Amino acid sequence: MAIIRKLPKYEVTATLQCAGNRRTAMSKTKTVKGVGWDVSAIGNATWGGAKLSDVLELVGIPKLTSVTSSGGKHVEFVSVDMCKEEKGGPYKASIPLNQATNPEADVLLAYEMNGEPLNRDHGYPLRGIVPGVIGARSVKWLDSINIIAEECQGFFMQKDYKMFPPTVDWDNINWSTRRPQMDFPVQSVICSFEDVDVVKQRKVTISGYAVSGGGRGIERVDVSVDGGQTWIEASRYQKADVPYIGDDKSSDKWAWVFFRAEAEIPRNAEIVAKAVDTAANVQPENVKDIWNLRGILNTSWHRVQVRVGHSNL
């Protein structure tokens, strides 16, 4: 830790999102296995620490290395956290070496969160932060880091967090046919209303978050009050009173983006949000089209039912 703290400290604002965010809505289509997350299995913070690329350079692995002289192609993070899925062994995950050694990928060995030392729940004393990638790869409570030839063979890399088509179920699954999920797709969520909600006035403010993986910015967020028949474009921002431009140096490319729109809603409204990232990826309309047995990556249009009137509570 003393050596890591002597390296240049970088601060990276990054969103960590569980691959199972919004799993509950996917389970309504057909039951899936996993923690029943609604829309809040996600968080954003400014992480402080050493770049992994600087740490690897200390042990003789130059920046922008794809394979070491001994054949290493992946960097494995091993936690002190023991779990039943690993039969009592440690939680672990890996990322490609060319990502770990690229300073622009901003992979951190973080010891601070929002300007304060990591607390216990967030991985004290040291954790990995892999921006733009599903949260399962940002391993907490680091015990060791290994350079390995093949990707990590741990449970959560090989038998979980993989994206299968709707035709695959538990009786015909073959885990080896899919790669471990890394980047997460474009996502948006309405946070200003619950589903189902009641408001007193027809004029409402619709707001929430949007985020995309791989450092891609948010190009647009569209909002509808009639179930997707007509749309209005929402304003986007990361910092108050600072214009947001996707993929611009002034923006935090690994962080979520907030959106906001004013609209007049019908008496019974289905409010919908969908985001488009800077690579023109757009959220799919229907959750059934992306259903998968583990309930990961539900990035379908986010819908909430809102009624104008008086609550019955």
Average pLDDT of the segment spanning 242-267: 94
pLDDT (0 to 100) of residue 247: 87
Is residue 167 a contact partner of residue 174, using CB atoms and an 8 Å limit? no
pLDDT (0 to 100) of residue 54: 98
Q: Which residues are CB-neighbours of 87 under 8 A, at least 6 positions away?
A: none
Q: How many CB atoms lie within 10 A of CB 121?
A: 7
Is residue 17 a contact partner of residue 184, using CB atoms and an 8 Å limit? yes
Residue 128's pLDDT band (cuts 50, 70, 90): very high
Is residue 302 a contact partner of residue 273, using CB atoms and an 8 Å limit? yes
Q: CA–CA separation, 105 vs 254, rounded Å?
A: 10
For the domain made up of 187-308, give the CATH fold: Immunoglobulin-like (2.60.40)
Q: How many CB atoms lie within 10 A of CB 168?
A: 17
Q: Which of 207, 259, 204 is nearest to 236 (CA)?
A: 259
How far is residue 305 from each of residues 17, 29, 103, 210, measured CA to CA in Å? Answer: 24, 17, 44, 19
Tokens matching residue 97: 């070496």
Give percent of the chain above pLDDT 90. 95
pLDDT (0 to 100) of residue 240: 87
The string of pLDDT tens digits covering residues 71-97 is 999 999 999 999 999 999 999 999 999
311, pLDDT greater than 70: no
∠152-153-156 over CA atoms, to 5°? 90
**Half-sphere exposure for 207 (CA within 13 Å, toward CB):** 10
Q: Average model confidence (pLDDT) for the chain?
A: 96
Average pLDDT of the segment spanning 250-273: 97
User: Per-domain residue ranges for the chain?
Assistant: 4-159, 187-308
Q: Which of 232, 303, 237 is nearest to 270 (CA)?
A: 303
Average pLDDT of the segment spanning 15-27: 97
The string of pLDDT tens digits covering residues 57-74 is 999 999 999 999 999 999
Is residue 136 a contact partner of residue 112, using CB atoms and an 8 Å limit? no
Is residue 24 a contact partner of residue 86, using CB atoms and an 8 Å limit? no
Q: Does domain 4-159 have CATH number 1.10.10.10?
A: no
312, pLDDT greater than 80: no
